[in-house]
Chain A
Amino acid sequence: MKRVAGRLVWAAAAIVAACGFGAIAMARGEPVNSVWIVLAAVGSYALGYRFYGSFLAAKVVALDARRATPAERLRDGHDFEPTNKWILFGHHFAAIAGPGPLVGPTLAAQFGYLPGTLWIIFGAVLGGAVQDFVILFCSLRRDGKSLGQMAREETGKVGGFIAMVTVLIIMIILLAVVGLVVVNALKGSPWGAFTIAATIPIAVFMGLYLRYVRPGRVLECSAIGFGLVVAALAGGRVVAQSAEWAPWFTYGGLALCGALIVYGFLASALPVWLLLAPRDYLSTFVKLGVVVLLAAGVVGLRPQMEMPALTRFVDGTGPVFAGKIFPFCFITIACGAVSGFHALISSGTTPKMMARETHALAVGYGSMLLESLVAIMALVAAGSLAPGVYFAVNAPAGAVGATAEAAARTISGWGYPVTAAGMAELARTAGEATLFNRTGGAPSLALGMARIFSGVLGGPRVMAFWYHFAIMFEALFILTIIDAGTRVGRFMLQDLLGHVWEPMGRASWKPGMIGTSAAVVAGWGWFLYQGVIDPLGGINALWPLFGIANQLLAALALSVGTTVLVKMHGAKYAWVTAGPLAWLAAVTFTAGAEKIFSSDPHIGFLAQARVLEQTGTAAGQIFNARLDAAVCAVLMVLVAAVLAVSVRLWAGLLWRPEARVLREAPFELSRLEAEEL
C-alpha cells in the first residue's frame, strides 16, 4: 500500500512538472503566468532529487550510514561537531546563497525568460547539485579537506596551484562586479545611500553591544539591528524628500566607487568584531527572510511574465551584455545553475558538521536545488516587469542614449514600448529621481521584488518602501561580501607571497597585512573603477569575466570529482561529473575566445581596444580593454591546464587499474546515538 502511495506521489510530481513545461511550451506569444514556471521547477527538482539524487547516493558514491563522519571521528566541540540534518541544510544554504542567484538570472532575462529558466532547472539538477554533492562526499571521506587540498592530492600540485590562483582571481573580479552592482543601485539615490550609510554605525553599535553589553546574545542583537535598519529605511525617505538633506546623500558613480574602495580597505583592517561580524549576522538573517518572503510573494501573487519567452537579443546584440545565448547565458547564470564557488563551501564547514554520510544528499544536492529555486524567483521578479521597463533600467546610456526621451525611443524601436513619462511615474512611485540606465541588475530586481511585495503587503502606496527595502537587502549583503572578501583575498595573497618571502606569510605581520590589503583593494578597485567609467555600463565586461572564472572553478571541482569516481568505479560512472565538465569546458572556452577575439567591439575586448584607439579615447580605457583580454586569456589557460592534467590522469587510471588508490580515511563504525542526529 505504502509503495503504491509512493508511486502515486512521484507520478503526481511528474505530472506537475509536465504541466508546468507544457504550459510554458504552449504559450506561443501569449504572456505566461509565473506559477507554471515555478511548478515546472519544483516538479523537476522533486524528480531530480528523488531519482537522480538517490541514484548518485546509492550507486555512484554509495553513501554509508554506518560509517563515522569526520564530525564524529574528529569531534572537537568547535569545527567538527555532528549537527542536525535540517539545521546543517539551512546553514549550508545560507553559505551558498549570495547575490549571484539573484543578479545573474536578472541580467540573463534580456534573452527572454525561457533560456534562463531551462538552464537554471536542468543545470542545477544535472550539474550544479551533482558538483556540490560529489565534492561534499569527497570531503566527507577525506576528513573534511578543502577543494584545494583534494585537488593537490588527487590531481597533483598543478590542480592545487590552479585552485588557489583561480579563487584569488574570482575573489577580485567578484568584489569588483558586486561593488559595481551597489554603485549602480545607489547612484543618484539619496534614500538608498542614506540607508546603506546608516548600516555602518548600526553595525558598529551591534559590535559594541555584542562585545561589552550583552556578550554572546547574537540573535537579540541582530533583532535590534534589524529594527534599526528598518528605522533607517524610514529615515531615508525623509532625507530623500528634504531639499536640505538630499544633496548630502546624492552621489555619482565615481564618488560611490571611491567611498567603496576606502570602505573596503578600512573594513578589512578594522577588528572583525567591530563591523564585519555584526553586519554578517544581520545580513544572513535578512537574506534568509527576504528569500522566504520572495517565495511567499511569488506564490501568493502569481505574477504574469511580461517578458517574452525569447527576445530579439538572442542574436547577441543585447544592450545589457553582448553575446548570443550560447555561451553567454550559461556564464551569466552561474550561481543558481552551476557554481564552482559552491565547491569551496561543500569542502569547507559543511563536511565537518555532518552527522551521517546519508545526510549529504539532502544537504549537498538538496541545498543547491533550493538555491536554484531562488534563481527562478529572481527570474520571475525580473520577467514580471514590462520588457520596455526592464531594458530602460538595465541598458546603459551608451547603448540607448543619454536622455530619457532618446532611451525611450531606442527601446520602443526594438519593439518593447516604453515612454519617458511612464518611466518618470514609475521612478516617482519607487521614490527615485530616475530609473533609466541603472545597470547591474539590482535596481530592476528591486523593482520586480517591490511589485511582488507591495502586491501582497500594502499595495502601490508602499512600493517606494519595498523598493528601498530590496535595495537595502541587496546592498547589505553585498557590502558584507566586499569586506569579508577583501579580508579573505588578503589572507590568500599573504599565503601565496609567503612562499616567495617568509615574513609575508605571517598573518600578524603589520606591513604584510596592510600591503596585501591594499593590493587586494587596488585589484578589485581598479576593475570597479573601469566598470564605473565604462560607457557600456561595466557589467558587459565584468560579469562575463566573473562567470568564466566561476565556471573555471566548477571545471576544477568536477575534475576532482571525476578523478575520484574513476578511482572508485573505473569508467562506469565517470559520466556523472565528466558530462557537466565537458559542457562547462565548451561554454568557458567559447565564451573566453569570443570575449578576447570577437571582431564585434561590444563582445571582443581586443576589438573594443582597437575601436577605442581609432576614436582617440583615453589611453586608460584602451588599457582596460586589453587588461580584460589578458585576464580572460589567463583563465582560459588555467581551464586548459586543468583539463590536460585531468585527462592524462584519467587515461593512466583507466589503463592501469592498480594505480587507482583512493585517499579516503579508514572506515570506522559510527557510534552516534539517535538523539545526537
Chain B
Amino acid sequence: MKRLRAVWKVVRGLMAELADERAYGRYLEARGERATGAGWRKFSEARMRAKYERPRCC
C-alpha cells in the first residue's frame, strides 16, 4: 500500500510537472504570492514564450 502511494505520488507529480502546475507553484513560492488569474497569465506567458522557442523532438 505504501509503495502504491509512492508510485501515485510520482505519477501525480509528473502530471503536474507536465501541466506546468508545479512550475507555477514554484513561481508563486519564490515570489511569496498567492494564485490569481493575473499571476497565472503573467507566469504562463513567460513560460510559454521560452517553451516554444526551443526545438521540439520528432
What is the interface of chain A, defined by CB distance below 8 A to chain B? 76-79, 81, 83-84, 86-87, 90-91, 94-100, 167, 170-171, 174, 178, 210-212, 215-219, 222, 272-273, 276-277, 281, 284-285, 288, 334-335, 339, 341-342, 344-345, 348-349, 480-481, 484-485, 487-488, 491-492, 546, 550
A348 to B51 alpha-carbon distance, docked (Å): 10
A481 to B23 alpha-carbon distance, docked (Å): 22
Kindly report which residue of chain A lies nearest to residue B53, judged by CB atoms.
Answer: A491
Q: Judging by beta carbons under 8 Å apart, are A485 and B56 in contact?
A: yes
Q: Judging by beta carbons under 8 Å apart, are B53 and A272 in contact?
A: no
Q: Judging by beta carbons under 8 Å apart, are B19 and A218 in contact?
A: yes
In the bound complex, residues from chain B placing their C-beta under 8 Å from that of A550 are 58
Question: Given A77-B27, A273-B45, are A218 and B17 also a contact pair (CB < 8 Å)?
Answer: no
Q: Judging by beta carbons under 8 Å apart, are A78 and B30 in contact?
A: yes
In the complex, given contacts A79-B50, A285-B15, A481-B58, what are 13 additional A-B residue pairs having Cβ atoms less than 8 angstroms apart? Answer: A77-B29, A90-B10, A91-B18, A95-B57, A171-B55, A215-B39, A219-B15, A276-B52, A334-B58, A335-B58, A345-B57, A487-B52, A487-B53
What is the interface of chain B, defined by CB distance below 8 A to chain A? 10, 13-21, 23-24, 26-27, 29-30, 35-37, 39-41, 44-45, 47-50, 52-58
Q: Judging by beta carbons under 8 Å apart, are B57 and A335 in contact?
A: yes
In the bound complex, residues from chain A placing their C-beta under 8 Å from that of B44 are 210-211, 216, 273, 277
Q: Judging by beta carbons under 8 Å apart, are A285 and B18 in contact?
A: yes
Q: Judging by beta carbons under 8 Å apart, are B10 and A91 in contact?
A: no
In the bound complex, residues from chain A placing their C-beta under 8 Å from that of B21 are 216-219
Most interface-central of A77, A285, A348, A550 (chain B CB within 10 A): A77
Q: How far is the CB of A326 from chain B (nearest CB, A)?
A: 22
Kindly report which residue of chain A lies nearest to residue B6, judged by CB atoms.
Answer: A86
Question: Given A86-B14, A342-B57, A345-B57, are A272 and B19 also a contact pair (CB < 8 Å)?
Answer: no
A396 to B51 alpha-carbon distance, docked (Å): 38
A218 to B19 alpha-carbon distance, docked (Å): 6
Taking a contact as CB atoms closer than 8 A, the residue among B13, B19, B30, B40 that contacts A77 in the complex is B30
A167 to B55 alpha-carbon distance, docked (Å): 8
In the bound complex, residues from chain B placing their C-beta under 8 Å from that of A488 are 52-56
In the bound complex, residues from chain B placing their C-beta under 8 Å from that of A273 are 41, 44-45, 48
Taking a contact as CB atoms closer than 8 A, the residue among B13, B18, B23, B30 that contacts A284 in the complex is B18
In the bound complex, residues from chain B placing their C-beta under 8 Å from that of A272 are 45, 48-49, 52
Question: Given A79-B50, A488-B54, are A216 and B17 also a contact pair (CB < 8 Å)?
Answer: no
In the bound complex, residues from chain A placing their C-beta under 8 Å from that of B29 are 77
Q: How far is the CB of A591 from chain B (nearest CB, A)?
A: 17
A514 to B18 alpha-carbon distance, docked (Å): 30
In the bound complex, residues from chain B placing their C-beta under 8 Å from that of A339 are 57-58
Kindly report which residue of chain A lies nearest to residue B7, judged by CB atoms.
Answer: A86
In the bound complex, residues from chain A placing their C-beta under 8 Å from that of B47 are 78
A342 to B13 alpha-carbon distance, docked (Å): 23
A81 to B22 alpha-carbon distance, docked (Å): 11
